[in-house]
């Protein structure tokens, strides 16, 4: 929870000073200043200030980016609708759990990504998107496509479904493998940043509304994921854990290719497959063993002089 955003919202809602807010919640004005700078806030105090700001259980950063509580509620309804559309059309064979928003983080996550790539959120919710989601108009899909923010959210969700499918098929079990012990070093970041990674897979043409921050954002996210996934690969090689796909495909692979790979795994087509890197690792380990054992065997057999006939190794 962003304590700074919550304090800012409370001050704006109440139209009061920091000293007046401090009096209302029973703390010193200096404590309000600390919270406004990001200091941790207790759950009890958070509940009091949430009630004063009238934001319910909505994330304060999401409300701040939306421009108002009312706009945030409407964006929230649209985001959940678009998430349902993306999840229902998924072909990966895996449930896209974050789109079900069990922990109430979806709206914040989407607006965080939009903010990072430079999208300006209109402070007044567009009238064309303000519909009854229990009775959606037949042409609402065209309405979404005509609004650059809504269409970008839909594109990010469509990409996210495929990215998450590959993650669920080939990576999540590795992150939770106690023998690899990668969660603290990489796993938490890999899991929590998938929406950002999905956004990097939208084409540059689609990124025309990203206000110039999309390219730098993409480089940053991909570099981070490359480092995190290489940690997982290194630990997997050391422990002999099987990799059934090239993990870096999550970063550099096309979203449709990720969908196909996830679907194949969900249908059992790739159950017996091991990524070539695993074979190479096993071969290298076997060669190291032979390198140590062979001299001992030759000594026991009394072989002092041995010349390798390289012509016998030819495929011809």
Token pair in block for residue 152: 């970008």
Fold (CATH) for 1-57? 434 Repressor (Amino-terminal Domain) (1.10.260)
Mean pLDDT of 11-22: 89
Domain ranges of the chain: 1-57, 68-316
Identify the CA nearest to 195 among candidates 233, 227, 225, 173: 225
Name the band, by pLDDT with cuts 50, 70 and 90, for residue 277: low
pLDDT surpassing 80 at residue 126: yes
- Count of C-beta atoms within a 10 Å radius of residue 160: 29
Low-confidence winner among 11-15, 81-85, 286-290, 291-295 (lowest mean pLDDT): 286-290
Cα-Cα-Cα-Cα dihedral sign, residues 112, 117, 118, 120: negative
Alpha-carbon span 24 to 49, nearest angstrom: 9
81 Cβ contact list (under 8 Å, min separation 6)? 133, 136
* Burial annotation 3-36 (CB, 10 A radius, 16+ → b, else e): bbbbbbbbbebeeeebeebbeeeeeeeebbebbb
Alpha-carbon span 98 to 160, nearest angstrom: 10
More confident: 283 or 233? 233
Name the band, by pLDDT with cuts 50, 70 and 90, for residue 113: very high
Percent of the chain whose predicted confidence (pLDDT) is above 70: 88
- Count of C-beta atoms within a 10 Å radius of residue 284: 11
pLDDT score recorded for residue 290? 76
Specify which of 234-243, 259-268, 275-284 reaches the highest per-range mean pLDDT. 259-268
pLDDT score recorded for residue 287? 67
Mean pLDDT of 61-68: 89
Per the listing, tokens 């998450």 go with: 164
pLDDT surpassing 60 at residue 276: no
The H-or-E segment that residue 43 falls in is: helix 43-53
Identify the CA nearest to 282 among candidates 229, 244, 247, 238: 238
More confident: 293 or 230? 230
Identify the CA nearest to 94 among candidates 270, 253, 263, 264: 263
Mean pLDDT of 238-255: 90
Identify the CA nearest to 198 among candidates 169, 230, 161: 161
Looking at beta carbons, which pairs linking 27-36 to residues 24 or more positions away fall under 8 Å?
32/7, 35/3, 35/4, 35/6, 35/7, 36/3, 36/4, 36/7, 36/8
* Burial annotation 191-226 (CB, 10 A radius, 16+ → b, else e): bebbbbbbbbbbeeebbeebeeebeebbeebbebbe
pLDDT surpassing 70 at residue 13: yes
99 phi and psi angles, rounded to 5 deg: -70, -20
Contact yes or no for 21/7 (Cβ under 8 A): yes
Q: Rounded to two decimals, what is the model's pTM? A: 0.79
Identify the CA nearest to 45 among candidates 58, 63, 33, 32: 32
Alpha-carbon span 14 to 17, nearest angstrom: 9
């Amino acid at each position: 929870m962003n304590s700074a955003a919550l304090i800012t919202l409370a001050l704006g809602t109440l139209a009061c000073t920091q000293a007046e807010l401090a009096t209302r919640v029973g703390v010193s004005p200096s404590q309000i200043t600390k919270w406004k700078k990001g200091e941790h806030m207790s759950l009890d105090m958070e509940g009091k200030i949430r009630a004063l700001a009238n934001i319910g259980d909505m994330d304060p950063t999401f409300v701040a980016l939306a421009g108002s509580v009312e706009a945030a509620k409407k964006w929230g309804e649209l985001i959940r609708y678009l998430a349902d559309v993306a999840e229902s059309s998924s072909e990966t064979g895996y449930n896209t759990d974050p789109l079900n928003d069990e922990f109430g983080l979806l709206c914040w996550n989407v607006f965080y990504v939009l903010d990072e790539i430079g999208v300006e959120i209109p402070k007044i919710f567009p009238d064309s998107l303000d519909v009854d989601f229990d009775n959606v108009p037949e042409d609402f899909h065209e309405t979404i496509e005509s609004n650059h923010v809504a269409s970008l959210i839909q594109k990010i969700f469509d990409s996210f479904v495929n990215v998450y499918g590959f993650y669920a098929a080939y990576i999540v079990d590795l992150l939770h493998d106690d023998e690899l012990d990668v969660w603290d070093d990489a796993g938490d970041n890999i899991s929590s940043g998938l929406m950002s990674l999905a956004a990097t897979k939208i084409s540059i043409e689609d990124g025309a509304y990203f206000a110039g921050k999309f390219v730098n954002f993409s480089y940053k996210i991909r570099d981070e994921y490359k480092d995190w996934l290489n940690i997982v690969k290194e630990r997997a090689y050391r422990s002999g854990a099987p990799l059934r796909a090239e993990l870096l495909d999550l970063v550099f692979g096309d979203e449709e290719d990720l969908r196909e790979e996830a679907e194949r795994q969900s249908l059992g087509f790739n159950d017996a497959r091991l990524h070539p890197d695993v074979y190479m690792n096993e071969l290298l380990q076997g060669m190291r063993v032979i390198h140590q054992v062979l001299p001992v065997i030759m000594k026991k057999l009394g072989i002092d002089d041995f010349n390798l006939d390289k012509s016998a190794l030819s495929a011809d």
